[in-house]
Amino acid sequence: AQSVSQHNHHVILSEAASLELGCNYSYGGTVNLFWYVQYPGQHLQLLLKYFSGDPLVKGIKGFEAEFIKSKFSFNLRKPSVQWSDTAEYFCAVKSRHSGYALNFGKGTSLLVTP
Amino acid sequence: NAGVTQTPKFQVLKTGQSMTLQCAQDMNHNSMYWYRQDPGMGLRLIYYSASEGTTDKGEVPNGYNVSRLNKREFSLRLESAAPSQTSVYFCASSEFGSTGELFFGEGSRLTVL
């Protein structure tokens, strides 16, 4: 079955620490991959997306993600987190199935402490 | 630039009551979606409308109906609310196809007592 897995459900980091959030997917064929962020009390916003080309994509607020096709992975990274990065992060895959709706992972809750 | 607008933002219902969540987008997108978000479950697709005039079930459609009223509007109806439908509901829209990102509304928090 097609699925998106996020390995870390809760992550706590100190400011300036490096961040890596794992995401694996199980889809056949071409995939389009996304990371969304949801700040407390807000709606989802796009961080970055990958369709084709350079597998290292850069997004907003210093985030980047690397698509590794052989590992079916699309991990999110940030070299130095800030308190304002406290949020929930969702990996998602866009599929031809379901009218190109996004299929989301269960999310990772990130808490950055001062 | 409103984007995706949902109403109401908050609603409390009693078991068995009905209600409709409204969603409108002003980006001329073809596709619209309804998701529900529950703690630890991520976002799950309830229904989608790939284009005006079509609607289809997503992952968790039971207990819901939808109407694509026109290209701009996509409503979600709970005919007989149940406590299991307590959730935060998000409407989204996108261009049809594999590369368009989804734009989300601010969410509607529904509590069923």
Give residue-wise pLDDT tens across range A4-31.
Answer: 999 889 999 999 999 999 999 987 777 8
Mutate to test the interface with B, among A44, A50, A95, A106 (most CBs of B within 10 A): A44
In this structure, are residues B65 and B52 in contact, taking their beta carbons and an 8 Å threshold?
no
Residues of B in contact with A57 (CB under 8 A): none
Express each pLDDT in A68-99 by its tens digit.
989 999 999 999 999 999 999 999 998 776 66
Check B104 against A98: CB less than 8 A apart. Answer: no
Check A102 against B102: CB less than 8 A apart. Answer: yes
Residues of B in contact with A107 (CB under 8 A): 40, 42
Chain B contact for A46 (CB, 8 A cutoff): yes
The closest alpha carbon to B23, from B96, B58, B75, B67, belongs to: B75
The confidence band for A58, taking pLDDT boundaries of 50, 70 and 90, is: very high
